[in-house]
A and B are shown apart, each in its own frame.
Chain A
Amino acid sequence: MFKRLVDLVQILVAVATVATVVLLSTVSPTVAEVESPDTALGGDLYQSNCAGCHGAGGEGGIGPALAGGLARFELVEEVARFVSTGVPGRMPGFETRLDPDQVNAVVQYVWADLAGR
């Protein structure tokens, strides 16, 4: 009985493995629709595009902390350029996923709400 249960679990896991491989090759990043570059939109875009690495509140994670930070940047435009182009091997560039208004919205959110600049 227990052996049959383990056999069944192994079959299910094999199916899940195939499904994972299929998902890896088919799922695209989600891009939110934009109407205007406001802070609420920037927050939504941040949560869906940036929080995975920088933390939901900008506290950092895989990527560096943003809250109270961004000391290396003097101008918000520099952050926008950085977000657009990314850094090979370290951070993806978002110019192919977000339009300029979206980049502007998320950068304004990070700059003002998270970093307090």
Chain B
Amino acid sequence: MSVATATGTISGVLWKALLAGGAVAVAAGVYGSIHDPAGQQTISLFFANTLSFKAWTTTLILVFALYQLYSALRMWGKVSFPREMPSWFGDAHRLSGTLAFALSLPVAFHCLWALGFEPDFSELRRFAHSSLGCLFYGAFAAKVTLVRSPEAPSWALPVVGGVVFTTLVTIWLTSSLWFFTTVAFPGI
């Protein structure tokens, strides 16, 4: 399926990615809006509380995301180190993304289940964090759709990957950095 636009065509795989991403983002936002927030702690492991666990876990996710960015740039030939790519390089990229996503699950669970979606624009940090959290999972779903679609245009994956990375950085800024600078550091 392709749809004519002013600049050309949008292929079926792009529609698929857009629909998958949109569905996931909207579903997360709707759940966060209609679910009565529990206001309770969930997992905290060895941290003092769930907030501290989330702040540090999101920081670890950011580290994985930075590796994702670097390894993607190397695979696309935008950086030249290492000069010879080891055979495991692509799988390491996949593994770092998978681990980052896995670590995000307990964080997102607490955000959605215990806190919910902040619809009030005047609460800018929480509004931005809520919106970007939904966008992150939407963009991630779109990226997974695209990465498994060899017929996708070459620009699509870097663009969606860039959206995933950018939203993640902004999510970290509006949560972990806020926590470390206004609540507690290290807060363990």
Contact = CB atoms under 8 A, between A and B. Distances in A.
Interface in A34-58: 47-53, 55-56
Contacts, number: 89
B51 to A, nearest CB: 5
A85 interface: no
A9 interface: yes
B37 A92 contact: yes
Nearest to B109: A20
Interface in B139-188: 179, 183-184
A6 B39 contact: no
B6 to A, nearest CB: 37
Interface in B62-115: 88, 91-92, 94-95, 98-99, 101-102, 105-106, 108-110, 112-115
B119 A89 contact: yes
B51 A48 contact: no
B183 A9 contact: no
Contacts of B35: 24
B91 A29 contact: no
B120 A90 contact: yes
Interface string B31-55: 1000111111110000011110000
Given A13-B101, A29-B40, A53 B108 contact: no
B73 to A, nearest CB: 20
Nearest to B126: A62
Nearest to B184: A59
A5 B92 CA distance: 10
29 contacts: A2-B88, A2-B91, A2-B92, A3-B91, A6-B91, A6-B94, A9-B95, A9-B98, A9-B99, A9-B102, A12-B102, A13-B101, A20-B105, A27-B113, A30-B40, A48-B40, A52-B40, A52-B41, A52-B114, A53-B39, A53-B115, A55-B51, A59-B184, A61-B49, A61-B51, A89-B118, A89-B123, A92-B38, A94-B39
Given A9-B95, A13-B98, A29-B38, 6 more contacts: A49-B40, A52-B50, A55-B49, A61-B51, A62-B51, A92-B38
Interface of B: 31, 35-42, 48-51, 88, 91-92, 94-95, 98-99, 101-102, 105-106, 108-110, 112-116, 118-120, 123, 126, 179, 183-184
